[in-house]
Structure 1
């Protein structure tokens, strides 16, 4: 399995009600085994832990403590009922670029010892208007849906009350969608 990579793609959004609105723009994300962050930073002179165009800071993720990110993710997973004591933890997310961090969603995937398929995932939502960081755990069989008690980012109270949200996981591709859509 690939332990370090840069993924390129597009992010998009479209809303039709109450008025038409949409956007799409290019995006890049880092796929990195959290035990190998320093090895990935060493591959490019413009990447580092400080004073570079691309900066990785442990304090940008999970909470503001400067502790090792792998340890913080494993602690958060354990607090949410996931068994991540062994195996590898891989992150898919945006790193600080030119001093700015825009990272609406960070995915942490757990791979059991010797496995090349994730067995569970933890999603960190960072762009809530009330500055919370909800964490959404998902156990992963090859395909599984998990009802959430409330949407990750509630928009309208009626929608939140009558439309539960689901995670769907197929391999490393993840979707969060309203069940009544």
Structure 2
């Protein structure tokens, strides 16, 4: 039996494609959870398999996510969105993310789908990106979206260093489907009006229940550890192929300021 009719496990693939100065492609199986962040305690009930802020096979730890740890995640996200946009959100906020599996959590990106008061439409999306190895977090709030009923699209400039194999002079074009039976996120990097890279998340939802969470956790064990390993494995491949390595912008500033 599902824990909630609006909370799900999404399963599918993540695909990355690089187009310059050479082609580089990979695709991996993945699963993510999707739930109302105001109901963490209700959704992740204490059991032998999962817990909240305590060790377990699957855990939700507040410190793994956005904002002031003294606030609830729901309050922290609403506060950030108000500070950056002036909007007071009236509807629920649902996150698409990874939990902590076998004691380890890493999220390259978590998506916060912010619904209107009717809980029928996505009002805006906050994407929180974590880079590696720096473990810095940055949130893009996508509020000026074009909505054609099936897709939400937005374009904006890059202002956070993610990969050492890409510079900062990119524009982003993001496309989101509504989080329904099928969920797709397509994130393009544009430079000089040409697409140089894209990442596509293609997922299908399943009920958020103990059976499905056990099945996914055991079929794709150590999911978050595997993510970090794959990031470094693909980075090694790019380095071997001769991809240019860009300094972190903060390191560039230090070099300029040094006497």
- Correspondence 1:94-109 to 2 at 5 A: 94-109=98-113
By percentage of residues, which structure has more helix? 2
Q: For the residues of structure 2 that align with 1:58 and 1:6, how far apart are their CA atoms? A: 19
Aligned residue number for residue 171 of structure 2: 164
Aligned residue number for residue 148 of structure 1: 156
Aligned 8 A contact 1:89 1:110 in 2? yes
Q: Give the number of equivalent residue pairs.
A: 178
Aligned-pair distance for 1:57?
A: 1.1
| Structure 1: gaps of 5 or more residues | none
TM-score, length basis structure 1 = 0.84
Q: For the residues of structure 2 that align with 1:26 and 1:171, how far apart are their CA atoms? A: 21
Aligned 8 A contact 1:112 1:118 in 2? yes
> Residue 25 of structure 1 is aligned with which of 28, 33, 37?
28
Counterpart check, 1:176 vs 2:181: no
Aligned-pair distance for 1:56?
A: 0.3
Which consecutive aligned stretches of 4+ in structure 1 deviate over 6 angstroms post-superposition? none
Aligned 8 A contact 2:130 2:138 in 1? yes
> Residue 18 of structure 2 is aligned with which of 15, 18, 24?
15
Aligned residue number for residue 59 of structure 2: 55
Aligned 8 A contact 1:59 1:67 in 2? no
Counterpart check, 1:39 vs 2:55: no
What RMSD, in angstroms, separates the aligned Cα atoms of the two structures?
Answer: 2.5
Q: Any idea what SS the aligned residue of 1:62 has?
A: coil
Q: For the residues of structure 2 that align with 1:9 and 1:99, how far apart are their CA atoms? A: 23
Cα deviation, 1:71-90, whole Å, max 9, x if unaligned, reads: 11111111220624311111
Structure of higher CA gyration radius: 2
Counterpart check, 1:92 vs 2:96: yes
Cα deviation, 1:130-166, whole Å, max 9, x if unaligned, reads: 4321111112442454332225536433xx43x4222
Q: For the residues of structure 2 that align with 1:116 and 1:2, how far apart are their CA atoms? A: 14
Aligned residue number for residue 114 of structure 1: 118
Aligned 8 A contact 2:67 2:77 in 1? no
